[in-house]
Structure 1
Amino acid sequence: MPATDTLPRSVRVGYGSGSVATGAFGTVPGLMLLPYLTDSLGIAAILAGFIVFVPKAWDVVLNPIAGRISDRTVDARGPRRPWLLRAGVALAVAFALLFAAPDMATGLEALWVLVAFLACATAYAFFQVPYVAMPAEMTSSYDERTRLMTWRVAILAFTIMLAGATAPAIRDAVGGRDGYRVMGLVMALIIAIGTIGAYVGTRRAPVAAPQPGAGSLRDQLRIVAEARDFRWLLTCFVIQALATGCMLAGVDYLASDVLGKDGAATILFVCFVGPALLLTPAWSAIGTRVGKKRGYVASSVILACGALLAVTAQSAPIGLVYLAVVLVGVGYAGCQVFPMAMLPDAAAVDARRTGSNRAGVYTGVWTAGETLGLALGPAAFALVLAIGGYESSTDGDVAQPDSALTAITLGFSILPAVLIIASLWWLRRYSLDAPSVDGTADEIVSA
């Protein structure tokens, strides 16, 4: 079916349900895997950071390849949808195994986690890249892409809250390594539900048939790299993903070691995602009124301010820390809505200019960058822990030195805030606007 300007609500919701899978996988390993390695398997922080980083780095290489493969897929169900089902089911199975390492020597346990996480990362690449490529082919409208992303980000925010709040609660309720195993099974089920929802929900989505550009993958990657607006947007988003990865990795440590309050991790996640659930439509409306770029800048500044306020975690009342995380959540909602709505704009401009649809390659490069940022975040936080002298254990019951508590606080607050503000230097160069993206005014100069 040809792409249309307006999509029915059922298609918006169906497409958005894929964020149940991406939200669960994007949240839980970033939140739970580093503590699992350092405080349950007794692996040193620097090695744990390496284990978390390597599979994500593999995705950086794999994502553009997955995009090119999906661009060239011929299937009666469409080029993208078959990958949602195949890769989504594989991701759910691999995720169930990730936290299910049997009792073995520490080195073998570390190897188990590394191999299982590599399997998760591979499956995720072939789910996420086709999934993110779909909006550019589902509608030709600049504003409709924003509405489509509003549903996606709202469902993503709900999933982050559900997964981020319940994963630590399940682990703590069951206790020990069995708690991690049960938590992994529950999250795998959530991933499977999101996969099936996206596959079924997009069965009636209008999708323009891809017309992949000629040339090798290297040739197409070079063409994508020459799209200046896409390059500026991607650089900003990757740096912000790095900042988000730092904060996500630090939640459990901040809750248990700095705040020292039972259930604080769950409360922090509710504070973080609750505002996103409420304010995602508001950010969408702001973007329609003032433009996506201005909305993105405003939400980034709010996120950075919240992160800076969290530096008081060691001495301020706990309520102030929760308030800081609420502020982070307000900004985070916009920092998801706007770049995700701006990405298909860049892909659509390229398709109109060249006559070739490289949406898969664009989104492959995009998700590779996002994956790299989210991988570097926990790795950077683990490095901060190591510098601060964090003590690993097999039961999580170790009194940390003051230097480690300071490292946790700075890694959760100052480091992310600096990264967010720095990212705006690249965003300021982005120049796509609504009239030119829709093709109703002058051509995009930078394309």
Structure 2
Amino acid sequence: MATLPYAEYPIGEGAVRPDHSLRHNIADKSLSPLRLAGFASIAVPIAGAGLPLAIFVPQLYASEFGLSLAAIGLIFFIGRFWDVAADPIVGALSDRTRSRFGRRRPWIAAGGLLFGLSSALLFFPPATLVTPAYLAAVLFLFYLGWSMVEIPSSAWAGELTAHYHGRTRVVAWQMLLRSIGLLAVLVLPTILDQVDPGNGTLKLQLVGGFILVTLLPSLILTLSSVPEPAQPASPPVRQSFARAAALVFSDRLLLRVLASDTVVTAGQSIRAGLIVFFAVWYMGLPAWASGLYLLQFIFGVAAAPVWQRIGTRIGKREAAITGELAQAGINIALLFVFPGALPLLIALTIAQGVTQGSGNLMLRAMVADVSDAHRLHTGHDRTGLFFSVFALSAKLGPAIGVGIALPLVAWAGFKAGPGNSPEALEALKYVFALGPALAHILATLIIWRFPLNEAAHAEIRRALHQRDAIPA
């Protein structure tokens, strides 16, 4: 099995049947729902920081502290490059870490403290110290702390169980807690707008307070809820980072999963970037602009356990394909929404929420399986580096989606304000509907014949088990 090229992993009816006795042995019965919820709880403050960072921070630092938009834009632009660079560095270093506390725990603990400190400085800035240099330094620490928590915890999640469907279950809990964090930062500012509209400073502090209040208990729960798996018997990889990165980016299975998730995220970003414009200017429903997004998120949270069950029953690849095709159909149905058709729009928004996490969940769960195949093929465990590379899709997808959608609707004559022609509004609807639909179809084609199914993974785990049992 170790010599099989990735393209020759068995698929379809000719697949080797998984050894169910092995599957039973590697399933970790100690991963109760309560333990998994505790382990995944760090996703609440981490996910809760993302949306305010994009929406509230630039606006407040410009309006309240007088920083120029050009300076803020440049700082965030450079900061995003640092964020992208920090992920694989942290992933590779955590793979190589050896300590009595484990490989992932020291990074998460140190990263959590750094993330908390930088969040306090970012969301509660002392007015007399705020300068472009202050914002740049705080963002540097913020992104570093974020990577030190996010990447090792994702790798740890992939190592919690070697069971094919068990990994889907672990990722489902992470996605559920991540959705709860996002939901909270959507609800809290919405409530504040009803009580004290226009108070940007209080809104920023409210979000920052939520992050700080949830960070410490979630950090303790993540570090203590589940045992970290035994460190690999093989010595840490001593290759250069550039050589390890080159090997990872030459892994065809990982690249397919990464490409599919990037396209999925780009499609979701097109929808998120245009939904306010569509609700306000096409539908003429400004009161529903935030409500539609919130409604989609609520049903997305509720659907995570459902998709975990679907993935367990039919397989990750099949569940991802099913979810992506469903989302494509839902977005195409938006072409039949016209001003006044609010009930249909609400129904499609709910359906979008129910299906939106399917592809992301299954693709993330596939990364640990791909890492197993890589370890069998190369002899090196690079789980942390694999998850750091996969995290690029969450950063590339929005950049691609927004970078395509906004210029496209602008080229068609749409502008964010009154006075748009009927043709410009129709163009907005077509991009809003067909952009995500095409993205979900493309993501389906990329993952359509993904060879690493349950049967192939069972063979990989059996080969790894036999090889690991042989003394070096």
The Cα offsets for residues 79-138 of structure 1, whole Å up to 9 and x where unpaired, read as: 21222232233334434554667889xxx9888766654543332222111111112322
- Would the alpha carbon gap of residues 96 and 71 (structure 1) be closer, same or farther in structure 2, given more than 3 Å must change? same
Determine if the alignment matches structure 1 residue 434 to structure 2 residue 454: yes
Letter matched to residue 185 of structure 1:
G
1:418 to 422, 438, 441: 438
Matched, 1:365 2:381: no
Q: What secondary structure sits across from 1:320 in the alignment?
A: helix
Q: 2:322 aligns with which of 268, 282, 298?
A: 298
The code of the aligned residue for 2:89 comes to I
Is the 1:238–1:370 contact (alpha carbons within 8 Å) kept by the matching residues of 2? yes
Task: List aligned pairs for 1:368-379, cutoff 5 A.
Answer: 368-379=392-403
AA at the equivalent of 1:142: Y
State the secondary structure of the residue aligned to 2:99: coil
Q: 1:13 matched to which residue of 2?
A: 37
Q: Does 1:327 align with 2:351?
A: yes
Matched, 1:182 2:205: yes
Q: Does 1:199 align with 2:222?
A: yes
Q: CA RMSD in A?
A: 3.8
Q: Aligned with 1:402: secondary structure?
A: coil
- Of 413, 416, 420, the residue aligned with 1:402 is 420
Q: Aligned partners of 2:426 and 2:126: how far apart in 1? A: 34
Distance 2:452 2:40 in 1: 25
Contact 1:307–1:325 (8 Å) recurs in 2: no
| Cα deviation, residue 235, structure 1 | 0.6
Q: Which has the larger radius of gyration?
A: 2
TM-score normalised over the length of structure 1:
0.81
**CA contact 1:13–1:201 (8 Å) conserved in 2:** no
In structure 1, the residue matched to 2:467 is: none
Q: Given the superposition, is the C-alpha separation of residues 243 and 121 from structure 1 closer, same or farther in structure 2, using an over 3 Å criterion?
A: farther
User: Structure 1: which amino acid aligns with 2:420?
Assistant: D
Q: Work out whether residues 296 and 334 of structure 1, in 8 Å CA contact, stay in contact via their aligned partners in 2.
A: yes
Preserved contact between residue 238 and residue 373 of structure 1 (Cα < 8 Å): yes
* Compared CA separation, residues 309 and 228, structure 1 to 2 (3 A): same
Shift of 1:349: 1.9
| Alpha-carbon distance between aligned partners in 1 of 2:134 and 2:299, rounded to the nearest angstrom | 37
Q: State which of 302, 318, 326 in structure 2 corresponds to 1:278.
A: 302
Residues 283 and 113 of structure 1: CA distance in aligned 2, closer, same or farther (over 3 Å): same
Query: Within the alignment, does 1:230 sit opposite 2:254 as a pair?
Result: yes
1:286-315 C-alpha deviation (Å, 9 max, x unpaired): 222221111101111222233334456662
Candidates 126, 129, 137, aligned match of 2:148: 126
> What does 1:186-265 correspond to in 2, within 5 Å?
186-189=209-212, 192-193=215-216, 195-202=218-225, 204-210=226-232, 211-254=235-278, 261=285, 264-265=288-289
Residues in 1 aligned to 2:182 and 2:203: alpha-carbon distance in whole angstroms:
18
Partners of 2:124 and 2:438 in 1: CA distance? 36
Indicate how the Cα distance of structure 1 residues 222 and 340 shifts in structure 2: closer, same or farther if over 3 A, else same: same
Equivalent residue, structure 1, for 2:470: none
The change in CA–CA distance for 1:309 and 1:149 in structure 2 (over 3 A counts) is same
User: Quick one: which amino acid aligns to residue 439 of structure 2?
Assistant: L
Q: Identity percentage over the alignment?
A: 20
Q: CA 1:102 to 1:442, structure 2 compared with 1: closer, same or farther past 3 Å?
A: closer
Contact 1:303 1:328 in 2 (8 A): yes
8 Å contact from structure 2 (residues 40, 222) kept in 1: no
Distance 2:333 2:56 in 1: 24
Give the AA of the match of 1:181.
L
Does 59-68 or 403-412 show the bigger shift? 403-412
Which amino acid in structure 2 is aligned with residue 230 of structure 1? L
Pairwise CA distance, 1:35: 7.2
Structure 2 letter corresponding to 1:422: L
Q: CA offset at residue 64 of structure 1? A: 0.8
Which structure 2 residues correspond to residues 380-399 of structure 1 after superposition, within 5 A? Answer: 380-381=404-405, 383=407, 387=411, 390=415, 399=417
Which range is displaced more, 304-313 or 128-137? 304-313
1:150 matches 2:172: yes
How do 1:14-29 residues align onto structure 2 when only pairs under 5 Å count? 14-29=38-53
Are the equivalent residues in 1 in contact too, given 2:86–2:147 (CA < 8 A)? yes
Distance in 1, Cα, partners of 2:446 & 2:70: 30
Tell whether the 8 Å contact from 2:45 to 2:210 is kept in structure 1 after alignment. Answer: no
SS at the partner of 2:357?
Answer: helix
Match of 1:139 among 137, 161, 171: 161
Unaligned runs of 5+ in 1: 392-398
How far did residue 206 of structure 1 move? Answer: 3.7
How far residue 236 of structure 1 moved from its aligned partner, in angstroms, is: 0.6
> Is the partner of 2:89 in helix, strand or coil?
helix
Q: Deviations over 1:12-40 (max 9, x none)?
A: 12222122133213444456567779999
Q: Distance in 2 between matches of 1:113 and 1:383?
A: 29
Per-residue displacement from partner, 1:167-206 (whole Å, max 9, x unpaired)?
A: 343356433222442343234336525742553444x424
1:374–1:205 Cα change, 3 Å: farther
User: Can you list the C-alpha shifts for 1:229-257, whole angstroms capped at 9, x where unaligned?
Assistant: 11111111012122223333445555555
Q: Distance in 2 between matches of 1:405 and 1:33?
A: 30
How many residues were matched structurally? 431
Residues 247 and 412 in structure 1, CA contact (< 8 A), matched pair in contact too: yes
Distance 1:425 1:170, change over 3 A: same
Question: Paired residue for 1:346?
Answer: 370
Normalising by structure 2, we get a TM-score of 0.77
Q: Call closer, same or farther: CA 1:153–1:195 in 2, change over 3 Å.
A: same
CA distance in 1, matches of 2:221, 2:309: 25
Q: Is the 8 A contact 1:306 1:326 kept in 2?
A: no
- Distance in 2 (CA, whole Å) between partners of 1:443 and 1:418 is 39
